[in-house]
Structure 1
Amino acid sequence: MKKKKPTSLKQALKKKLNKKELSLVVTSYDMVGDIAIIEIPIELEKKEKIIAKTLLDLHKNINVVVKKAGVHKGVYRTQNMFILAGEDRKETVHRENNIEIKLDIEKVYFSVRLSTERKRIMEQVKKDEEVLVMFSGVSPYCLVIAKNTDAKRVYGVEINPAAHKYAEENVKLNKLDGKIKLYNGDVRMVVPRLRKKFDRVLMPLPKEGEGFLDVALKAVKEEGRIHFYDFEHEKDINLAKEKVKESCRKFKKKCRILRTVKCGQVGPREYRLCVDFKVIS
């Protein structure tokens, strides 16, 4: 009788780890292209390569297994990654929302978990809109919008030279040369030099985005929309809206909050939020 293959990671690790170790295994992981990004608790560090190799053998679509080391840090929001199993590389091509995104998971910031959020924003974009994406990274928002909507043009501004280089590659990869314009630099310096007003401005920088609301407010047309991202605890969700209202008061702009959307949990009872708001005349 043919032996059944294990279908889950814990099942596959049953004979390799003891009960206590097995109970500590984190079975969820992120897939960026063909790279699995896993979390290894401190108690299992001595068994991390066994866990990684088991996961690699379990799924044919995984060619590299890495573990996160530390948190996102610095202006570029990058995170160290260590290869535990599979091929010796950190570059991959990720597919979502009808686009392909080439990136190095250690050199740039990219969140696979925001795929649904990118689609949500894309679905709001109207024909002939000019869209500005601040902190655009490898340009996932730019690509999704340019590929799937009738926007006139999408502009991306990114400070990380490595992310900007990948973004340029991604525009060519997706054959979107005529629809996307990319700039490498600090949004505070670059955006005013564009001397343009936009129908829609995206601000996918939750940790420090509040400090750039003035740039977005100056760049958006009257009746235009801004998507402001923020991290807040469950009990402080209304704070995100208050930050928007306070900035609008400070810079003498009128705004109407359209909605506040939870677009991911980043910790115990802590969420990534997006405040969609309209600047009114």
Structure 2
Amino acid sequence: MASLKQVLKNKLTKKELAALITSYDVVGDIAIIEIPSILNPKEKLIAKAIMQLNKHIRVVCKKVGIHKGIYRRQKLKIIAGERRKTTIHRENKVLIKLHLEKVYFSPRLSTERLRIAKQVKQNETVLVMFSGVAPYCLVIAKNASPKVVYGIEINPIAHRFAEENVKLNKLEEKIRLYLGDVRIVVPMLKKKFDRIVMPLPLGGENFLDTALSAIKKGGTIHFYDFKDITGFEIAKEKVLKACKKARKKCEIIRLVKCGQIAPRTYRICIDFKVC
């Protein structure tokens, strides 16, 4: 199969080819690409080449800026294909419907979501904080045998998609979804959980106290962070400090790299048990 550079070899200059970013995300039937400023005049040409290489792609969007705001949303510009940003993504035996610009979702975490699901034991009660359109909830409920998976999300649009996704996957008996701030919703639930997932890698340490207040003795928490390779111990210290403040003993089981976000910088997950 031809590569993107091969398809564009005779259509871009050597300088433009050198600047071309050949990797891109695919969510459902939508490709999301980065276009360096030098290639802005050639963006439609690049988008059409991607569609030529991937017949299932119906829309190509380019990133405009970065994820920002409390909902971690990113602006996207459609540069080829159908005029829509809603799609249905398939991963780990589940269907995930979403609007790419109105909610946060990363297809790069597919392997990580399944890694968590494989750790869930039969009849566990699981809480997913910052649950978004419910990818973790869906993958856990579909690929493991939990008693119930609870999801809490503050973005009302993501919450509505999550509710739709639960019905789409026929998992109403396994998933309970709540709209709101986890700091407010968790105490209202008046429940203790066997496992808590915290997929908020920027500022997640500010919610460790809430997670620790809701975890059962012997339960497991999955804490996410962004760190360069020299900062892994700092991430561990965040966990140890929070546990000490909450007067709970903990044991760090493992630290997992869940994907590279920049040179030498990773999204990491610390799996730890509260003793």
Instruction: Identify the TM-score tier after normalising by the shorter chain.
Output: over 0.9
Structure 2 match to 1:68:
63
Which amino acid letter does the alignment assign opposite residue 274 of structure 1? Answer: C
Worse-matched range after superposition: 65-74 or 13-22: 13-22
Secondary structure of 1:84's match? strand
Structure 1 position 98 matched with structure 2 position 93: yes
Number of equivalent positions: 275
Structure 1 position 36 matched with structure 2 position 27: no
The gaps in structure 1 that reach 5 residues or longer are: 1-5
Residue 237 of structure 1: how far off its partner (Å) = 1.0
Structure 1 runs of 4+ off > 4 angstroms? none
C-alpha separation between the residues in 1 aligned to 2:198 and 2:215? 12
1:150 pairs with 145, 153, 172, which one? 145
Secondary structure of 2:45's match? helix
Structure 1 position 18 matched with structure 2 position 42: no
Secondary structure of 1:247's match? helix
C-alpha separation between the residues in 2 aligned to 1:156 and 1:101? 15
Residue 14 of structure 1: how far off its partner (Å) = 1.6
C-alpha separation between the residues in 1 aligned to 2:63 and 2:214? 36
Structure 1 match to 2:124:
129
Secondary structure of 1:15's match? coil
- Residues 255-266 of structure 1 aligned to structure 2 (within 5 Å): 255-266=250-261
Which amino acid letter does the alignment assign opposite residue 84 of structure 2? Answer: R
Structure 2 match to 1:7:
2
Worse-matched range after superposition: 76-85 or 41-50: 41-50
- Residues 156-195 of structure 1 aligned to structure 2 (within 5 Å): 156-195=151-190
Which amino acid letter does the alignment assign opposite residue 248 of structure 1? Answer: C
Structure 2 match to 1:224:
219
Structure 1 match to 2:42:
47
Structure 1 match to 2:210:
215
Structure 1 position 269 matched with structure 2 position 264: yes
TM-score by length of 1: 0.97
Q: Percent sequence identity over matched residues? A: 65
Which amino acid letter does the alignment assign opposite residue 143 of structure 1? Answer: L
Secondary structure of 1:217's match? helix
Secondary structure of 1:274's match? strand
Residue 74 of structure 1: how far off its partner (Å) = 0.5
Worse-matched range after superposition: 165-174 or 8-17: 8-17
Structure 1 position 116 matched with structure 2 position 119: no
Which amino acid letter does the alignment assign opposite residue 22 of structure 2? Answer: T
Structure 2 match to 1:58:
53
Residue 11 of structure 1: how far off its partner (Å) = 1.1
Secondary structure of 1:123's match? helix
RMSD over aligned CA atoms reads: 0.8
Structure 1 position 199 matched with structure 2 position 186: no
Which amino acid letter does the alignment assign opposite residue 173 of structure 1? Answer: L
C-alpha separation between the residues in 2 aligned to 1:255 and 1:8? 48
Structure 1 match to 2:249:
254
1:22-46 CA distances to partner (integer Å, 9 max, x unpaired)? 1111110101000001110111111
C-alpha separation between the residues in 2 aligned to 1:53 and 1:148? 36
Structure 2 match to 1:79:
74
Which amino acid letter does the alignment assign opposite residue 236 of structure 1? Answer: G
C-alpha separation between the residues in 1 aligned to 2:2 and 2:261? 28
C-alpha separation between the residues in 1 aligned to 2:10 and 2:30? 25
C-alpha separation between the residues in 2 aligned to 1:101 and 1:92? 8
Which amino acid letter does the alignment assign opposite residue 167 of structure 1? Answer: A
C-alpha separation between the residues in 1 aligned to 2:175 and 2:163? 9
Residue 231 of structure 1: how far off its partner (Å) = 0.6
Residue 137 of structure 1: how far off its partner (Å) = 0.3
The gaps in structure 2 that reach 5 residues or longer are: none
Which amino acid letter does the alignment assign opposite residue 196 of structure 1? Answer: K
Structure 2 match to 1:3:
none
C-alpha separation between the residues in 2 aligned to 1:58 and 1:248? 50
Which amino acid letter does the alignment assign opposite residue 92 of structure 1? Answer: T
